[in-house]
Amino acid sequence: MKLTTRGRYAVTAMLDLAINAGNRPVSLADISVRQEISLSYLEQLFAKLRRGQLVTSARGPGGGYRLARCGTEIFVAQIIDAVDESVDVTNCQGKGNCYHGETCLTHHLWEDLSGQIHEFLSQISLGDLMDRQRRKVTQGGAETVLQTLSIR
Amino acid sequence: MKLTTRGRYAVTAMLDLAINAGNRPVSLADISVRQEISLSYLEQLFAKLRRGQLVTSARGPGGGYRLARCGTEIFVAQIIDAVDESVDVTNCQGKGNCYHGETCLTHHLWEDLSGQIHEFLSQISLGDLMDRQRRKVTQGGAETVLQTLSIR
DNA sequence: CCTATTCTTGACTAAAATAGTCAGGAATAC
DNA sequence: GTATTCCTGACTATTTTAGTCAAGAATAGG
């Protein structure tokens, strides 16, 4: 699990898609204008999102993208996974013999840590983000969000 | 909050420092050998860790680095903050007028999300990681860890 | 059928971040 | 004094990120 600006772009674009969903699909050109992300870059991102089965596409005039399922069933972790292909975390290539013949620190440590973060982001759906956006929570910050999550 | 390999290196090095802590400080040369991180790169990282007041240094023969305080009082979030200087997440430069004169999606969304992750990593100390390392938890994975954390 | 729209793909490029190198200097234990 | 270790800054190679460009395929609507 990596957290980069690319992941941010993808989550933002997906949230835009969720918010502006209606009868018609949403074109990348629209998202590009609203979110100020270059069209070609969006094309790359959505190619991956489509391969990850998070969106469906429709070609031709009036075409565009739709969420592949309800926003409450699409999670931030899935979006980031689709767009940031996984890194090889180990420098022992999974042999586990790098620390005096034993398994090294790095291997388990970061694997687990990124596992935890993954777990964490797997609990936040586009639906959750839309709710918060709608409510415009300005007071509280992280704490309130953590509350919200533990209530779910 | 970003999560990159640099942060991983830093956390690993700090954990090595915590584990090998004794009467004498630990030299970067030792960490370099054990963790297979280039010495010069470690020097860069520890310059930042020292500025972040996470470690103290001692020059000369037998010198090296120590944790600035007990491992249970040093948290993963602090380490990552020290080495990965903060990014400007907003593309509206904090004016909040990028989405038709209103505040944009991106701004609040990712700021809050990374706030949550920050909050999360602020609960994991080097002490926690050492405990887990010592116990060599092989069964369970992320779930057991989350349990462990909620028990704290 | 024609045309504009939109997705789809691949190759390419520029800029930034990451990881690492190198060299010189300062402090200090022995 | 001298070897060790931190400390600093400048430099470089590699990788990733973000963006460009161009050509093509599908299709809605006239």
Bigger pLDDT: A3 or A100? Answer: A3
Per-residue confidence at A152, pLDDT binned at 50, 70, 90?
Answer: very low
Nearest CA to B54 among B28, B93, B29, B81? B81
CA at B62, C1' at D17: how many angstroms apart? 42
Q: List the single residue in B with minimal CA-CA distance to A144.
A: B116
Please, are residues A12 and B110 in contact by the beta-carbon 8 Å criterion? yes
Separation of alpha carbons A48 and B110, rounded Å: 20
Mean pLDDT across chain B:
79
Q: Does B126 touch chain A (CB under 8 A)?
A: no
Q: Does A33 touch chain B (CB under 8 A)?
A: no
Q: In this structure, is the CB of residue A63 within 7 Å of any atom belonging to strand C?
A: yes
Query: What pLDDT sits at residue B112?
Result: 79
Q: Mean pLDDT, to the nearest integer, of B41-58? A: 95
Largest CA-CA distance found in chain A, in angstroms, rounded: 62
Contacts of A137 (CB under 8 A, 6+ apart): A144, A145, B112
Query: What pLDDT sits at residue B11?
Result: 93
Cα distance from N-terminal residue to C-terminal residue, chain B = 24
Contacts of B111 (CB under 8 A, 6+ apart): B89, B90
CA at B136, C1' at D5: how many angstroms apart? 33
**DSSP alpha helices (H): ranges in chain A?**
5-19, 28-35, 39-51, 76-83, 105-121, 126-135, 142-151
Please, are residues B92 and B55 in contact by the beta-carbon 8 Å criterion? no
Please report the residues numbered 37 through 66 in chain A whose beta carbons come closer than 8 angstroms to any beta carbon of chain B: none
Query: What pLDDT sits at residue A89?
Result: 61
| Residue among A15, A133, A146 whose CB faces B119 most closely | A146
Q: Is the pLDDT of residue B140 over 50?
A: no
Q: Is the pLDDT of residue A37 over 50?
A: yes
SS3 A144: helix
Least confident of A25-29, A55-59, B55-59, B109-113: B109-113
SS3 A124: coil
Contact A110 B76 (CB under 8 A): no
Q: Could you give the percent of chain A with pLDDT greater than 90? A: 49
Query: What pLDDT sits at residue B100?
Result: 54
Q: Mean pLDDT, to the nearest integer, of A54-83? A: 95
Q: Could you give the percent of chain A with pLDDT greater than 70? A: 72
Q: In this structure, is the CB of residue A35 within 7 Å of any atom belonging to strand C?
A: no
> How close does chain A come to B61, measured CA to CA in Å?
25
Q: Which residue has the tokens 């462990």?
A: B148
pLDDT tens digit string along A67-77? 999 999 999 99
Q: Mean pLDDT, to the nearest integer, of B57-67? A: 95
Q: Does A144 touch chain B (CB under 8 A)?
A: no
> Counting Cβ atoms within 10 Å, is residue B60 exposed (0-12), middle (13-18) or buried (19+)?
exposed
Per-residue confidence at A81, pLDDT binned at 50, 70, 90?
Answer: very high
Rounded alpha-carbon distances, angstroms, from residue B34 to A99, B25, B41: 7, 15, 14
Beta bridge partners of A75: A125
> DSSP state, A98?
T
Nearest CA to B149 among B76, B47, B53? B76
| SS (HEC) of B15-57 | HHHHHCCCCCCECHHHHHHHHCCCHHHHHHHHHHHHHCCCEEE
Query: What pLDDT sits at residue B150?
Result: 31
